[in-house]
Structure 1
């Protein structure tokens, strides 16, 4: 049985696991997140501890942000890799993966799963399951009257689930949905917006 203890008034989060007497501390940056361009997955997870465990179990995750609305955002880069990526987001706690205590991941601590895999606990060991597999997407196609909001050439080619945000030119508004493209596991970009 696990007991979670979250102290909103402190800059840390503690976790005690019953039977092991282990306590973990997570140092977080309040009201902070990273640029959307490095966001590769958003999950609904109620606590920062759950979000931290998920990040530790995937090699692709380099940083996370957990929101007051229980959204866990996983990023492919950290603010330490590029400080210019930091953005203010009230009610969000940012944490770099390297600051997370590995024990939170349980038997997945120190896993050797691949970049596109997620480590899943299995009794006293773990197994790697392909989560972000599928084909890779090449550079996103151009959209008339729009430019890529932010793109990092190091992320080419993108993998399944990766997103790219576009900005419509001035005096032009997006129609048909959010101005985001998503790399599908078929290797094709999916989007419904136009400018």
Structure 2
């Protein structure tokens, strides 16, 4: 159902974002950045997470929940690749990576939430959204813990690439869900919207 799909988009988005975000300050400090640089990067990241929300809502309504969920995955992949390939001493490259990370998160959370809202009745919505919020929080906690393990065992670049690739898991989930919905509608003699 759309609620499961929305939940999957939000959980994957949260895990990928938190994993990369959590280790970025550690990575920056290891490359000689001071706390002011770290604050700047995280400030831009937080801004990119929330400031686009009103525009993102319009985009989700205009282009569709699925399209924007895919945009989230692609943007998070771009963030992971940018973070992985950014020279550790390059403040502009790290700002770009974390802005992309925040924007991808924004796209994922808003499109995922819209999918949940579309699939639930007003009576069920608080319970469903509350349950999903627990899953999103646990995914964030897991991403934070695993990020330290991955960086300790390998590198920030590896973590960033893994986070970017993880975000792509949204695409087969979306495809499979749409395929199942189309099959279900066809069995019931209904047409499938484009």
Q: Same fold (TM over 0.5)?
A: no
TM-score, normalization by structure 1 = 0.24
Question: Larger % of strand: which?
Answer: 1
Question: Larger % of helix: which?
Answer: 2
Structure showing greater relative contact order (alpha-carbon pairs closer than 8 Å, 6 or more residues apart): 2
TM-score, normalization by structure 2 = 0.24
